Chains A and B, each alone.
Chain A
Amino acid sequence: MSVTTTIQVNGKSHSVAAEPDTPLLYILRNDLKLKGARFGCGLGQCGACTVLVDGKPVQSCDFPLSAAAGKAVTTIEGLAPDGKLHPLQQAFIDEQAAQCGYCVTGIIMAAKALLDTHSRPSDAEIRTALKGNLCRCGTHQRILRAIHRAAKEIAK
């Protein structure tokens, strides 16, 4: 049964009518038209759909709408609310850290959660934080460099 659920996304409150077990990913993409979280597997295996819920990275394809009720959801679109890029986004551009780019938004969100708690993570810490994210194009090294760069930038 479709019910109306209220969720906070990027600081704004939205009411959506859908079945409570609908994965958050489809609510974000189809109801709120926030396409930055990508569908990669729908199985919680690849991280393309990563968003933050109360600051923690979750795989939104595997996270029911009902669980998001009353929590603060942040998507990639919420990182640059006024169009000014987040240091992570800027660092990905500076390091040219994308090929197809499909994995990148999920990775930036996972990195954001990391940098929010570890301001200068080691290489190993970054790699561990990205355990749940896959990149098929082989952009790994650039992505690691970009995250280090952003950490340095934020620390300034």
Chain B
Amino acid sequence: MSQTPAPRKLPGNLNTNRRLDRWLKINRDGTVTAFPGKVEIGQGILTALAQIVAEELDVALERIRLAPADTTYSPDEGMTSGSQSITDGGAALRYAAAEARDLLLQRAAARLGVSLEQLSVADGVVKARSGGSVTYWEIATDDLLAREATGDIAPKPASLHTIIGSPAPRRDIPAKVSGAPIYVHDLDLPGMLHGRVARPPSYDARLAGLDEAEVRALPGVVAVVRDGSFLGVIAGREEQAIRALTRLKRIARWEESTVLPETPDPRFLLREVTEDQVISEKQDAAAGARAAKTLDAEYTRPYIAHASIGPSCAVARFDPDRCTVWTHSQGIFPLRRDLAGVLGVEENCITAIHMDGAGCYGHNGADDAALDAVLLARAVPGRPVRVQWTREDEFNWEPYGPAMVVKLKAGLDTQGNVVNWTEDIWSNSHSTRPNGLGGVNLLAAWHLARPHPPSPPRNPPLPGGGSHRNAIPIYEFPNERVTNRLVKRMPVRVSALRALGATANVFAIESFMDELAAAAGADPVEFRLRHLKDARARAVIETVAAKAGWRKGEKGDGARGRGIGFARYKNGACYVAVIVEIEAGNELSVRRAWAAIDAGLVINPDGIINQTEGGIIQTVSWALKEAVRYDRSRILTSNWDDYPILTFEESPQVEVTIVNRPELPPLGAGEGTQGPTAAAIANAIHNALGVRLRDMPFTRDRVLAALA
């Protein structure tokens, strides 16, 4: 039997969604609709994708419409995460648009009776050199793009770009400043009811008793939904649902158990069973023998909350043959698979429609809220039910960014070169998103009378990596051994938080580089350059040092000081170097930050700057303030008083410089700042005060303890 040859590999997500009309539609009204499967999460992705389509099609940016992601028609692009949207989703649209332009030109050539070479295009108007013209809008018909992509038409070279690389105002901002109802939180359907879920007081608590009648009798209550330890209420008005929730919480009796780690110190991980993998090994015995001085150190990061400013929300409705859910999930297709698993129906009986949410920075409660809405809506067929998580729901139940421990040991030769490097990292997996691996990764599913066990967690593999993201140093060391010690037991619910393991790994590596530089009597900038061959890496470090006016060997004055941190995100995406200036007065604060970023070809410069500024400021907050608190049975972080984040009074001034590389492919840029910023702060504290903080967050108490 002959086998059909494997289809050829197409660029980006075009490979898995191969038809051109999955991605683009040329409309007769002079517009173009693009169908990205990636979603806006406040990172400006849709603006950048529109720029790509306009550029490759040679039409004005204003003509591009973007269809909201919807499982009915959007290409399945999996998750919007990991700074992959421009590389995967952008590549697909880029090639699809280049090919669509080619098909349009062929048609125009036939219509005008000239050869392709005689044509030029401006804003969708195709002109023949001999005179005569026709527009895309006249010649486009539905069959034009009803075909598989070939991937044969090369996108434009950077030298011809007029839209890519120029700042484009974000398309979503006007509606956001006007207060328009654009978030899923604002969806208001006819006959809509309001739902709330009375979550257990702790992870493994079981509902032991409840007298529902008194809640059912409250004004406006339509239903109390109880299934195992899943408990929810539906009411006509939102405040009625909230009152009923308060009552439910008061009268429900739960059996709790002690499941949380015995200490808030991430070092409890060191005592756990691990699955070990050596992820980098280099040997050069002669170089190793030159070690004259050895240093070691241990760094930790606590559990960090995504802490979206808007708690998760979803709306769902059951119709006779269909369940529809409106959600701010980052992956409507994987979510739909897990929902189908819980409901025991075919996936195509569920429609998941994306709407904006508040910034999520990774896997927060969005998907869980979708299942909550579905479970409540099932009790009132035909009526849409809106579930709004409380602040407490979000803080108590979101999957946090995992705690981590990184141990480092290195040897220096007499010239101040690192000749040995040993690194061990302890962490849980960094993704428990819905993943279709057999179980259901949605909170409520675990509380049902017939629970659905979770899917196995996924630690994204290298080179991108999960817990081991950026664990392998980018520096050139002759001897190196990096071991990933994956902790399987997951006492605290964790998943993907912006940058995954890169935050802790880069924080550790870059702090340790400063410790080594000090031991070698070297300037931190020069010491890094000494161990770096990659020209792009060197360029961002040199750029940020120049912008900040870094003086070789500069010392803090006992109150102020500066420090640097650097990484190439995922060892394959953007290069980022950050210098911060800290001030230790009554409180520790970051006053200023400078960053240089090389993300290859930049689609929307202001978009990258916005993301970089935001990433730095958010990391300042993580590094100075944030840690989820818990005791043996309960999460103790429930509101903003328990979990303060950086305020307007505390936010630093940030200056970002783009090192543009228009000739090189675009690199993901949304998450490159976290590790470098955390390390730069620790290094600046050392520079200012002479003390080394190795445990995040760098609170006032920890600084004082270190000084004592």
Contact = CB atoms under 8 A, between A and B. Distances in A.
Contact of A42 (B185, B188, B390, B647): B390
A30 interface: yes
Given A89-B177, A96-B170, A143-B648, 9 more contacts: A30-B238, A35-B181, A41-B640, A43-B391, A96-B606, A99-B44, A101-B172, A136-B307, A137-B309
A134 interface: yes
Nearest to B612: A138
Contacts of A104: 176-177
B178 A138 contact: no
Contacts of A34: 179
Contact of A77 (B44, B179, B645): B179
A72 interface: no
Contacts of A152: none
Contacts of A138: 613-618, 621, 646, 651
Interface in A87-124: 89, 92-93, 96, 98-105, 108
B239 A23 contact: yes
10 contacts: A36-B180, A40-B310, A92-B173, A92-B177, A96-B173, A99-B43, A105-B176, A128-B649, A134-B309, A140-B617
Contacts of B239: 18-19, 22-23, 26
A80 interface: yes
A40 B169 CA distance: 26
Interface string B30-49: 00000000000111100000
Interface stretch (B120-128, B249-257, B356-364, B595-603): B356-364
B665 interface: no
Interface of A: 2, 18-19, 22-23, 26, 29-30, 33-43, 45-46, 48, 75-77, 80, 85, 89, 92-93, 96, 98-105, 108, 126-128, 130-131, 133-144
A149 B651 CA distance: 19
Contacts, number: 178
B177 A105 contact: yes
A100 B238 contact: no
B309 A40 contact: yes
A140 B173 contact: no
B283 interface: no
A102 B611 CA distance: 16
A75 B181 CA distance: 13
A41 to B, nearest CB: 4
B640 A134 contact: yes
A94 to B, nearest CB: 9
Contacts of B361: 136
A80 B310 CA distance: 24
Given A99-B359, A100-B359, A136-B307, A144 B648 contact: yes
A133 B651 CA distance: 13
Q: Top 5 A-B pairs ranked by shortest CB distance?
A: A36-B179, A100-B42, A101-B176, A138-B617, A100-B359
Contact of B618 (A22, A102, A128, A136): A136
Most interface-central of B42, B176, B652 (chain A CB within 10 A): B176
Interface in B612-629: 613-618, 621
Contacts of A29: 186, 238
A93 B188 contact: no
Nearest to B47: A96
Contact of A100 (B174, B357, B641, B648): B357
Contacts of B621: 138
B356 A141 contact: no
A36 B390 contact: no
B639 to A, nearest CB: 6
Contacts of B646: 138, 140
Contacts of A43: 391, 639-640
A37 B653 CA distance: 28
A133 B181 CA distance: 20
Contacts of A89: 177-178
B388 interface: yes
Interface in B227-250: 237-239, 242
Which of B179, B186, B238, B652 is packed against the most chain A CB atoms within 10 Å?
B179
B169 A96 contact: yes
B141 interface: no
Contacts of B170: 96, 98
B262 to A, nearest CB: 30
B416 interface: no
Nearest to A77: B179
Contacts of B307: 136
Nearest to A99: B42
